[in-house]
Amino acid sequence: MTIRTRPNTPRTDFDPAEHHAALAAFLRRMGVRGELEDVVQEAFLRAVRTPPDGAPRAYLYSVALNVLRDRGRKAERAGRALPGAARIDHRTVADPADVIEDRDLAAKAWAVIDRLPDRQRAALVLRIHEQFTYREAARALSCSEATARQHFYLGMKAVRAALAGESDD
């Protein structure tokens, strides 16, 4: 399916539907639950209105993160609790024991990741689970590649420090 964005605009080969399953999985990892399809559809609408000039996957993730931020701000202004989009539910991710043999260590790591600032948490999920390059992660996070590296580094540093502190007990 080729999408025409507006009358008199050039055609683009960007098809957000190709990324539906991956985007939905990413949003679940970021903690989106009941509003998942709404967030995906809103991200698609925004992406179709302003198609990417390159790297469609990273662009679509960036748009989805912006949708989550907008919804969070709107909920905050309305005095409601933030939607679950700011939390990772480790039960929706492939069994961490496949990656980390010790289930307790994996659970502790996810507990630390869950408490990280949004950008650090997103950088970890994008790099580790989504297999994004730093360049793709930077585009999704709407920052420079160096800043994406820093978010990832700080997130990993916090996880390592917390896990090292646990083993010292």
pLDDT of residue 94: 47
Name the domain count of the chain.
2
> Would residue 26 count as lying in a domain?
yes
Residue 100 and residue 109 in contact, taking contact as beta carbons nearer than 8 Å:
yes
Same domain, 81 and 117: no
> What value does the mean pLDDT take over residues 73-77?
74
pLDDT at 84 over 60: no
Same domain, 64 and 120: no
pLDDT of residue 96: 44
> Would residue 92 count as lying in a domain?
no
Torsions phi, psi for 3 (to 5 deg): -105, 130
Q: Average per-residue pLDDT in the chain? A: 76
Provide the CATH number for the domain around residue 154.
Answer: 1.10.10.10
Q: What contacts 141, CB < 8 A, 6 or more positions away?
A: 62, 65, 119, 122, 123, 126, 147, 148, 151
Same domain, 6 and 78: yes
Same domain, 3 and 82: yes
Same domain, 82 and 102: no
pLDDT of residue 154: 95
pLDDT greater at residue 115 or residue 82? 115
> Would residue 152 count as lying in a domain?
yes
pLDDT at 91 over 80: no
51-83 b/e (C-beta count within 10 Å ≥ 16 → b)? bbeebbbbbbbbbbbebbeebeeeeeeeeeeeb
List the beta bridge partners of residue 12.
Answer: 3
Model confidence pTM above 0.75? no
| pLDDT tens digits along 113-126 | 888 898 999 999 89
pLDDT of residue 158: 92
pLDDT at 98 over 70: no
Confidence band for 164, pLDDT divided at 50, 70 and 90: confident
Q: Within 13 A of 27's CA, how many CA atoms are on the CB side?
A: 29
| pLDDT tens digits along 131-159 | 899 999 999 999 999 999 999 999 999 99
Same domain, 114 and 71: no
Mark which of 27, 52, 87 sits at the end of a domain: 87
Q: Is 138 exposed, middle or buried (0-12, 13-18, 19+ CB in 10 A)?
A: buried
pLDDT of residue 77: 73
Same domain, 34 and 116: no
Same domain, 57 and 111: no
Domain ranges, residue 161: 98-169
Report CA-CA distances (Å) from 123 to 35, 130, 138. Answer: 22, 10, 8
